[in-house]
Amino acid sequence: MSRIFYTSALVLVVAGFATQPALAETPNEMLASIQKEALGIPGFSGFSTTRGESFFKTKHGNEWSCASCHTDNPAAPGKHAKTGKVIDPLAPSANTERFTSPKKMEKWFKRNCNDVLNRVCTPQEKGDVLTYLLTVKK
């Protein structure tokens, strides 16, 4: 009897987790998942704030850099380079919603890397940028 109870309780708990939308994560957890990806690449030796900052602020062959919309200060609100629509701050210190949804992060890295570099970003580049963003104070 009690075994049946435990099993059904377990099933219920598992089902509860499964129906949840992607669980919110912290920016540090997101960074850890990028790092896990990067570790598979030969020669990887960690992320760098300076590299991330310079990547963020420089153009990479296209019209826009990350900073074109997010500005040179990621803790400040940005502005869409084309439509002018206000973009909430990107640095987690200024906007606690940033880097808490893996789905959202993937969506925007895909879009923005394509706009800025005409390709996907490497785990190294993503990790460098997030490491930089995590150091930006409000």
Partner 1 sequence: MSIHKQKTFRVLAIALLAMGIMMPAAQADDGHDEKYGGKYGGENRGKPVQPVQTNPKFQQECSTCHIAYAPGLLPAESWRKMMASLDKHFGSDASLDAQDNKEITAFLVNNASNRWSASTAPMRISETAWFKRKHDGHEINPAVWKNPQVKSPANCAACHPQAERGNFNEHDIRMPR
Tell me the C-alpha distance between 115 and 36, whole Å.
25
Residue whose CB is less far from partner 1, 69 or 91: 69
Q: For residues 13 and 23, which CB has a smaller minimum distance to partner 1 in the complex?
A: 23
CB 61 within 8 A of CB 118: yes
3 binds partner 1 (CB under 8 A): no
Nearer residue to partner 1 within complex by CB, 49 or 101: 101
Non-local (6+) Cβ contacts of 15 within 8 A are none
Report the nearest approach of partner 1 to the CB of residue 24 (Å): 16
Q: How far apart are CA 23 and CA 81, in angstroms?
A: 32
Cα separation, 132 vs 99, in Å, equals 13
| 24 binds partner 1 per the rule CB under 8 A | no
Select 2 or 19, whichever has its Cβ closest to partner 1.
19
The answer to whether 26 and 32 are in contact (CB under 8 A) is no
State which of positions 68-97 bind partner 1 (CB under 8 A): 80, 82-85
110 touches partner 1 by CB under 8 A:
yes
DSSP letter at 98 equals T
Residue list 39-68, contact with partner 1 (CB under 8 A): none
What residue ranges bind partner 1 (CB under 8 A)?
Answer: 80, 82-85, 103, 107, 110-112, 114-115
